[in-house]
Chains A and B, each alone.
Chain A
Amino acid sequence: MTATSATARAEAPARPPRRRIRTPHKRAIIALVAPFLVLFALFYALPVAYAVWESLLVVQRDGTFGPATEVFGGLQQYALVFQDQAFWGSVGRVLLFGVVQVPVMLGLALVFALLLDSPLVKGKRFFRLAYFVPYAVPGVIAAIMWGFLFSPNLSPFAALTKAVPFLGADLVLWSIANVVTWVYVGYNMLIIYSALLAVPQEIYEAARLDGAGQFRMAWSIKIPIVRPAILMTAVFSIIGTLQLLAEPQVFASFSSAVTSTYTPNMTIYATSSLPNYNLAAAFSVVLALATFILSFTFLKVTQRKGQDA
């Protein structure tokens, strides 16, 4: 991202601040960008601004059943957020989860995309469909299914599940990781695969003429070319990990090890159900900031000079 902004900055004159820079194709740009932007502003930006506003309010009451009024409370909600040990414990938990699960999942997705893109694999259409299908299964059903498969008594692999407590305190986080990986490997694989499809065949001509084998081509040509796609899936996987909600919630119904504040987003969900909108909004803002810092750091670390985003 910074490479393109660098070139953008290099093009526009730096000195006279008031000179109007003529943007070429201005009307076209507006026509292309505006529809998305307007709806985005309405359904994302506006609600976010509202949530931030809510997080600055505090409720005051009159008596045990007295009516409530919201008044400006500054950072009081945030003080509560920072004192909440369970919340920070859950943040640590999803970070641990992310550090392991995201590289594993994306590594697998990359390998499968490369295999699919190579002549080594026959029956590409079948595999594409097979890997896609887990994403098509609704989350509630997927979790019921896995709950059944992990169950000590009812699983068809009962010998294994009785011996290894997949739903116990030590392993349940990784059992959830397994479900998340199962759902999203195919999804990420297809993104990387589509990026590979966009590469014109001529690029490989020179490499083949040089005698490069599939592995060499994958390593030296394909991976660098789809780097932007990989980075993008990584960023969105990081965001998704920090916002983990659906899978742990269903696991909570059949595992004694999953509490109601197992992940940060579960805390937010529980708080907003109380309903304590103001505190839930504060939690959301803090979580969003943490996610932003993490994504931003990740992108900065993976930037290389001269790389298009």
Chain B
Amino acid sequence: MTAETLIPVPTGQRAEREERRRSRRGYRGTGPKQSPVSRAVAMTVMVVFTLYTLIPLWWLVVASSKSRGQLLTTNGLWFADFNLFKNIGDMLAYGDGIFGRWMLNSILYAGVGGFLATLLAGMCGYALAKYRFRGRETLFNVVLGGVLVPATALALPLFLLFSKVQLTDTIWAVLLPSIVSPFGVYLSRIFAAASVPDELMEAARLDGSGELRTFFTIAVRLMTPALVTVFLFQFVAIWNNFFLPLIMLRSTELFPVTFGLYTWNTQINQVPELRTFVLSGAFLSIIPLVVTFLLLQRYWRNGLGSGSLK
């Protein structure tokens, strides 16, 4: 029983025009004018917290631009000599350009893995939300059970499993387990329940659409904010995961970038210039994540549900 059923929704072309009008102006509905005081309070709260979130990042940018000696001796929050491009250049050249290779690996693992994870989780969450079948709740709870076990306990069994099929030290060893996202299933279930009305599915059935077709053509559109969220989080999780590469990978050419940085970080005592490389590397590796976020932001639009009922 969702909230939409309580309120009559406008249908057809009128609804679509209304939707377009609203989204064009960032329109949020008529209503009492917002008081400047509450607006100011709201903005202040947001800005203060933004400072909190961004200050450590600012530190990263500043630290990436310093030479090793200056890291310790100059103020952490402002630049000294600006060496950012030199540091990045040195880092990209180190180890025969292995960093570039690592970035490509990460894009592969996170992009393909994130996409497939979202697909699988979306399908499963949708089925759990919109269909009733035996063992549905049991299944749901079993999926939760998988998340309860600490990942460190799974290291050896996973390694043995992949050893048995001789897939350790391959891209599959990182890609396959990354495709499983129990959290994605949970998220998809909640969103599917809230944003895909049963009536819509009925209407599609009456129109002769198969269940899978309904899912891929209608439900996915409605669940877009959720699926985008799942993809984004899974993308970042795979990008930053170093547990799986640690237990599965041996060849440096297969490392994702975060694991590569982790390895460099452990060699700092012997190769001191790695300190600056770790920092500049971390700075560079955040950029694709930010770019992905920016590209996907536009899918976070609201109210795609209305107007689809013909």
A interface, CB within 8 angstroms of B: 1-2, 4-5, 7-8, 11-12, 21, 23-26, 28-29, 31-33, 35-37, 39-40, 42-48, 50-51, 54, 108, 111-112, 115-116, 118-122, 125, 127-142, 145-146, 148-149, 154-156, 182, 185-187, 190-191, 193-206, 208, 211, 213-215, 225, 228-229, 232, 235-236, 239, 243, 245, 265, 268-269, 272, 277, 280-281, 284-285, 287-288, 291-292, 295, 306, 308-309
Contacts and interface: CB of A to CB of B under 8 A. Distances in A.
B57 to A, nearest CB: 6
Contact of A201 (B29, B46, B225): B29
B194 A37 contact: no
B76 to A, nearest CB: 5
21 contacts: A1-B141, A40-B180, A43-B154, A44-B146, A48-B154, A129-B293, A136-B293, A138-B285, A149-B76, A185-B49, A187-B233, A194-B229, A195-B194, A199-B303, A202-B9, A203-B7, A213-B32, A232-B186, A235-B144, A236-B147, A306-B1
What interface size band does chain B fall in?
Answer: 35 or more
Chain A interface SS verdict (over half): helix
Contacts of A291: 148
Q: Which of B176, B186, B190, B279 gathers the greatest number of chain A CB atoms within 10 Å?
A: B190
A108 B186 CA distance: 22
A92 B152 CA distance: 20
A10 to B, nearest CB: 10
Nearest 9 A/B pairs, CB to CB: A28-B211, A284-B153, A47-B157, A44-B146, A120-B42, A32-B127, A36-B124, A50-B157, A136-B289
A23 B211 CA distance: 14
A120 B146 contact: no
B261 A140 contact: yes
Interface of B: 1-4, 7, 9-10, 22, 28-32, 34, 38-39, 42-43, 45-46, 49-50, 52-57, 59-60, 72, 75-77, 120-121, 123-124, 126-128, 131-134, 136-137, 139-158, 160-161, 176-177, 179-180, 182-183, 185-187, 189-191, 193-195, 210-212, 215, 225-226, 228-229, 232-233, 236, 239-240, 242, 258, 261-262, 265, 278-279, 282, 285-286, 289-290, 293-294, 297, 300-303, 305-306
Nearest to B146: A44
Contact of B152 (A7, A26, A33, A284): A284
B229 A191 contact: yes
A8 B137 contact: yes
A137 B239 CA distance: 10
B42 A127 contact: no
Contacts of A198: 191, 194-195, 225-226, 302, 305
A236 B193 contact: no
Contacts of A285: 149, 153
A70 B217 CA distance: 54
Given A137-B286, A154-B72, A232 B190 contact: yes
